[in-house]
Each structure stands twice: as structure tokens, then as C-alpha cells.
Amino acid sequence: MAADKGGAKRIELCSALSEGGITPSAGLIERVRASVSIDVFIIIRPRGGDFVYSEHELEVMRADILEAKKRRIDGVVLGVLTRSGRVDQARTKELIDLARPLQVTFHRAFDLCEDLAQGLEDVIACGANRILTAGAKPNAMEGAATLAQLTKSAGNRITIMAGGGIRAANVRTIVMKTGVREVHTSLSRDVEATPADASAHGARVIGPQSFRVLEEDVRAFKSALESTTLDVETGASVQ
């Protein structure tokens, strides 16, 4: 809700951000969809760890995609790799086709590809709408040169969305260096718990509450982009 009120274009909804994000529960999806007016994308990821999935795990992913479609979700975020470090085109395309007419983002599994140039062509062949990437670096600033090359190579065939360590203080620099038209930011911060918070959740105050997104932080991020035509995406996990 803070992302919506702060001016984000869409939300990537995940649970367990400490695991890099996994598919949120049906209950969480339902409540978020009912609470915000902007687009909601959900991550389709059955577990933490690598992005090489068994057939049983793929069955879970298929079921989660169908569940998302039932709940008026606008898009899904997914990615499947082979053990050799390439995009698993057959399985990725199958999931994308199942997800249609929803939009599809190939997530940062892309950054684990052995060959990013080949990975770009593989994702395009699968039919995804965009790729979320830090240029195979820990964050988008370090991966700026690669992001610029990917953006140039992608042209109008697919959107390259920069993500990883992007904040109001560096987003303009990243956009100028890379030419990306979309960015992804978590904007999560630790917010000190209060006795009222603890009482509401039936718990003692034991420290900060992680992964809180504040409306003012989203607004500050948007204001840093006022001179651009950038679309802003914010991802948040509700614990």
C-alpha cells in the first residue's frame, strides 16, 4: 500500500525476501490485490536456492501461475535455468505461454547465465516482456556497463529493467549510464518496533522490523526521477 500511495507503477510481490523471494500465499495475493490499484506482479518461485527445477517443482510453478490468473494479477516474474548455466528455453517458454495474457518478467536468474548475450537472445525467444538484471554484478551500479550493452542489444525487442541496490541517491546516475527505461527497487528499511506494534501481533518488542516500505521513501525515489520518463517499480515483501 505504501508503494501504491508513493507513486510506484507496479509491485513485485514476494514472500521471504531473505531467500531472494518466493511465491506469496494465496491469502497474501488476495489481500494485496484488494488493497492497491496499481499493477501487481507475483514471483513464481517455489523455493530459495538455484533456478534449476525438478518436474515436481515445475508442477507447483504451473499451479501458482494458474492461481495468479484467477486472482486478477497483472503479471508474473519467473526464470528457469539449465545445469549448464543457460536459460532453459523449453520450460521457460512453457511457463510464459501458460501465463498469457499476463505480462512476464524474467528475474535475476538471468544474472547467473554463463553468457549474458546468449541469455538475452534466449529470453527474447521465450517471449518474455522484460528482464530484471544487475548486469551479473552484486548491484546495478557495478553492472552499469553491462546493463548499457544489454539495453543496446535488446533494442525494442524486450525491456531491460535494472535492479539491485538502486536508491534515490544513485538512480539518476544508473539511468544515465545504462539507458534503461525501467528500474526495480525494494526501498526496504528497518523500522524500530513499538510496544503498540508488539501488542498488535501478540509479541514482545525485541528489535527492528525488517522489510518495511514507507510511502515517503517511495515518493522520494519518484522525485529523483522527475526529469525523466522512467517507469518505477518497487518490490516489497509483507511478512
Neighbours of 43 (CB within 10 A): 24
| β pairing state of 231-237 and 182-185 | parallel
Sign of the Cα torsion 45, 80, 114, 139 reads negative
> pLDDT by residue for the chain (239 residues), tens digit each?
999 999 999 999 999 988 889 999 999 999 999 999 999 999 999 999 999 999 999 999 999 999 999 999 999 999 999 999 999 999 999 999 999 999 999 999 999 999 999 999 999 999 999 999 999 999 999 999 999 999 999 999 999 999 999 999 999 999 999 999 999 999 887 766 555 554 444 444 445 555 688 999 999 998 887 655 556 565 543 32
| Whether 123 contacts 91, CB under 8 Å | no
Q: Which fold has domain 2-186+216-237?
A: TIM Barrel (3.20.20)
Cα→Cα distances 229→3, 45, 180, 210, 226, Å: 18, 31, 11, 31, 8
